[in-house]
Structure 1
């Protein structure tokens, strides 16, 4: 391990009642870093977190709250000061319990069900949470309509910029071929949202609070050696309707399929419903969020906003085509899902 890192970690670990035997760097991403800390008391995970202090206070409080309400997640170790984090050289560090396991697989139905039931338990457990400082780092509940409009405006901006351009690439041609359709889909999603239970549900959630993880997916989950599902990486917690997480996991799973898969979607929704039941009207809010072309927009953003500059153009084009296929195939499936809601609720 780099000497500078070693000295930093040793200074941080000195704030804990631990006898360290080995330190190894697991990942380093500039402002973020993760270390494995072997001690005479077992293995721990140390994270450098690039957040303001009140964000860290909320995150560690939320982890304690979720654990107290039955969510399996690595616990936060308290420093000798009693604090849930350590500040060293103007940087913040949090020490976690270590959970050994493997990532679940979407292709195995039992594990996909386990993921959705775990997500539902997470949402249910988070209800009623408050912030110890009165501050919530993220409150996306307030931003749905504005976010839809802002993101639709991005598609329109890219369309306007590339229409008639002399240097059209294959990506531009494919994007322009479908841009109008997905702009219509943006408006349809907003129309569905405006005729759903969203406003009442949002008003209720402003009071009761519910947390979304925002990346409750295989990469942040582990099936532990005990067979239970564990969730970690609570960096992006937000107060929002639980359908944000549901939409994200559905998109993650469905984009790996040849097309949107209704039987698989029903399996996932029924698994969620068995733990944290939603109403038919609340599932219409989910339908609005699924209808919005998040996948098409996300792939276009990677190209037009240069977020994946190392990708060859062929990869950008093939990924965009995959997202278009998924987005187009969902429309009929979504209508059938809404027609079969009585099988879920």
Structure 2
């Protein structure tokens, strides 16, 4: 395996105007892989990216577009023929500048603000992007209702299956105890998407376009030696409402604690608002997305779809208990958040 990897990297690097002196495999997940490449010009990062040609062409274009508009992200190195990526054996590889740093800490308020300001900069910088010829972006913009309805239906199906099963275990019993409440949350969340201002924002975004990173989280961020916050891993870029990214980082931060923290939520959103202001109606769409039980669904689906086969039953149960606690505390906070929108959106 190591010899095959070294041979592959040698072939890839032969297409770039820099020679590899030392190669180190950092991660290999099959569809994705990352290598550190030491050259006479310093370190570079080589990534295998699980995208088709049109999507990878858009990612290359988007990285340049975002950098020109002020986003701190490693530059893509072109091949000797001027391409932003190369293909070997039907798989695609991209060479990036290496930027070293440490991941930001969700527990440090100044670094949490830095994340949110950087996210707002990312969304603002992406506005107006147009795919070049031969490039096609992911577009989740029109999928919110369908995806939500599909997930709600899966919860209903698992409820029917497990409630009639004779071999239920601790995971089943915990799921069945709480699923009715979370199906109702699904319905309430989806009902909020019937508001005319939601459809209006979707239509505006389909024309103007903004990108979501989809995992704007500590694992994909680094505070560099220059003090700037760099964002990596652009292979999941999609055209969507910016609140998708905001909801995801809120969930990541809040599930680290035992309860949904309204003061911390407001701190994060105030930092975002300083850079890329949203309207009250747009924050109501954020509230609808936050209301949807993404954490509960995600944990349940890991178990019933067998996506974490190495986990013990006890671990599944423990994680689901944690997600239920976060989801339950969130419900009481959301109305208070909506009541305090004047703190975010100034007249």
> Same fold judged by TM-score > 0.5?
yes
2: CA distance, partners of 1:173 / 1:89: 47
SS at match of 1:197: helix
1:302 aligns with 2:302: yes
1: CA distance, partners of 2:130 / 2:12: 29
2: CA distance, partners of 1:326 / 1:152: 19
2: CA distance, partners of 1:324 / 1:20: 49
SS at match of 2:227: coil
1: CA distance, partners of 2:44 / 2:81: 18
Shift of 1:133: 2.7
1:156 touches 1:183 (CA, 8 Å); kept in 2?
A: yes
Which segments of 5 or more consecutive residues in structure 1 lack a partner in the other structure?
none
1:42 alignment partner in structure 2? 42
Q: Map 1:121-160; keep pairs closer than 5 Å.
A: 121-133=121-133, 135-160=135-160
1:115 alignment partner in structure 2? 115
SS at match of 1:18: coil
1:220 touches 1:232 (CA, 8 Å); kept in 2?
A: yes
State how many pairs are aligned. Answer: 345
Q: Deviations over 1:279-319 (max 9, x none)?
A: 00000000000000000000000110001111111111111
1: CA distance, partners of 2:192 / 2:90: 47
Instruction: Select between 286-295 and 82-91 the one with higher mean Cα deviation.
Output: 82-91
Shift of 1:21: 1.5
Shift of 1:88: 2.2
2: CA distance, partners of 1:120 / 1:344: 14
1: CA distance, partners of 2:33 / 2:133: 26
2: CA distance, partners of 1:90 / 1:339: 53
2: CA distance, partners of 1:190 / 1:73: 35
2:12 alignment partner in structure 1? 12
Q: Root-mean-square deviation (CA), in Å?
A: 1.1
1: CA distance, partners of 2:58 / 2:211: 12
Segments of 4+ in structure 1 off by > 2 A?
88-91, 133-137
2:162 alignment partner in structure 1? 162
SS at match of 2:35: strand
SS at match of 2:193: helix
1:115 touches 1:229 (CA, 8 Å); kept in 2?
A: yes
Shift of 1:20: 2.1
1:258 alignment partner in structure 2? 258
2:203 alignment partner in structure 1? 203
1:224 alignment partner in structure 2? 224
1:58 touches 1:133 (CA, 8 Å); kept in 2?
A: no
1:315 alignment partner in structure 2? 315
Instruction: Select between 42-51 and 148-157 the one with higher mean Cα deviation.
Output: 42-51
1:103 touches 1:223 (CA, 8 Å); kept in 2?
A: yes
Shift of 1:159: 0.2
Shift of 1:16: 1.1
Q: Map 1:319-334; keep pairs closer than 5 Å.
A: 319-334=319-334
Shift of 1:180: 0.7
Instruction: Select between 188-197 and 97-106 the one with higher mean Cα deviation.
Output: 188-197
SS at match of 1:175: helix
1:262 touches 1:333 (CA, 8 Å); kept in 2?
A: yes
1: CA distance, partners of 2:68 / 2:226: 19
2: CA distance, partners of 1:48 / 1:135: 18
TM-score (normalised: structure 2): 0.98
1:100 alignment partner in structure 2? 100
